[in-house]
Structure 1
Amino acid sequence: MRFVVIRKKWIVIAAVLFAVIGSGSWFYLNQDAAEVINHHADEKAEIHMVTGEFTSQTDDGRKIEAYRFDPGSITIQKGEAVTLTIHGVNGAEHPFRIEGTDIKGVVKKGEKAVIPLKFDEEGTYRLICDTHSRHGQGAPMIAYIVVD
């Protein structure tokens, strides 16, 4: 009985080692995967975001909806030059602004808005859709840009 328990233990250890070595080798040998992991200092970072919509119906038959930016929060480093691309998926158009900056624009369905970003001050900046930010329109459409 003791021999079976020890043998099972070694089989589990061998399986774990095989998985770790196999996945490590795959990342090392697969250049596409390595490219995703590596960040080159001479390249401008790109962040992609989409406009999304949730719709539902209440028990009394009333339609409710909420729009959002997805992801709803991004983090960039202070002083880092980043390109934020917002892809218009749901909603005809979303006029937006980034609070605390002069950045404004519009994302239209089927199109994309490309926004160069670089923040010199740490903090949290709100990306706000002006169409879906007023009281009475459901949940506000806001994403947060966190600058560290």
Structure 2
Amino acid sequence: MKFIVIKRKWLFLVTAVILACCAYYYSKGAIPTFQNTQEKANSLEYHMVTGEFSTTTKDGKKIEAYRFDPGTIVVPKNEEVSLRIFGVNGEEHPFYIEGTDIKGTVKKGEETLVSLNFKEAGTYKLICDTHSHEGHGLPMIAYIVVQ
């Protein structure tokens, strides 16, 4: 009985050491899924992509919805912010940010850089001009929450 208890302790110890080594080894190449990186001091960077959902209903009607992902970001008031939007789905998405004079176009396979610095707190809509009109499916809108 004593031999079995000692054997279990050694087995537990060896397993713990192997797991710790594996965790250390694999953490070296870990990539965070979300990170606010700082290129310059006090400069926040956010990333978005354009995406699409599509399906066909039972009666054969095709339904499409384009979106910005993530659909909401929270940014600080009175700070320089870089928003990088990469075009994945859809040939292009001309956009504007409601309540500002900011506008641009996201093209498939390209990254669009948008510099932001909001002076007023609130929620601003990032709106794709193509996918916000009747007949173009659901609206393509992301929300920028300024605090």
TM-score with structure 2 setting the length: 0.75
Aligned to 1:122: 121
RMSD: 3.6
Give the aligned residue type for 1:109: K
Aligned pairs for 1:59-138 (under 5 A) are: 59-138=58-137
User: How many residues matched?
Assistant: 144
Give the aligned residue type for 2:68: F
Aligned pairs for 1:26-65 (under 5 A) are: 42-65=41-64
Give the aligned residue type for 1:64: I
DSSP-derived class of the 1:132 partner = helix
1:30-61 Cα distance to aligned partner (Å, 9 max, x none): 6987xx97976814111110000111001111
In 2: Cα distance, 1:73 partner to 1:100 partner: 17
DSSP-derived class of the 1:53 partner = strand
Runs of 5+ consecutive residues of structure 2 not aligned to the other structure? 1-18
Deviation beyond 3 Å, 4+ runs, structure 1? 30-33, 36-41
Percent of pairs with identical residues = 60
In 2: Cα distance, 1:32 partner to 1:133 partner: 38
> Cα gap change, 1:66/1:77 in structure 2, threshold over 3 Å: closer, same or farther?
same
> Cα gap change, 1:37/1:116 in structure 2, threshold over 3 Å: closer, same or farther?
closer
Runs of 5+ consecutive residues of structure 1 not aligned to the other structure? 1-18
**Greater mean alpha carbon deviation, residues 94-103 or residues 39-48:** 39-48
In 1: Cα distance, 2:36 partner to 2:134 partner: 43
Give the aligned residue type for 2:92: E
> Cα gap change, 1:132/1:37 in structure 2, threshold over 3 Å: closer, same or farther?
closer
1:82-138 Cα distance to aligned partner (Å, 9 max, x none): 100110110011000000100010111111110001101000000000000012322
> Cα gap change, 1:112/1:31 in structure 2, threshold over 3 Å: closer, same or farther?
closer
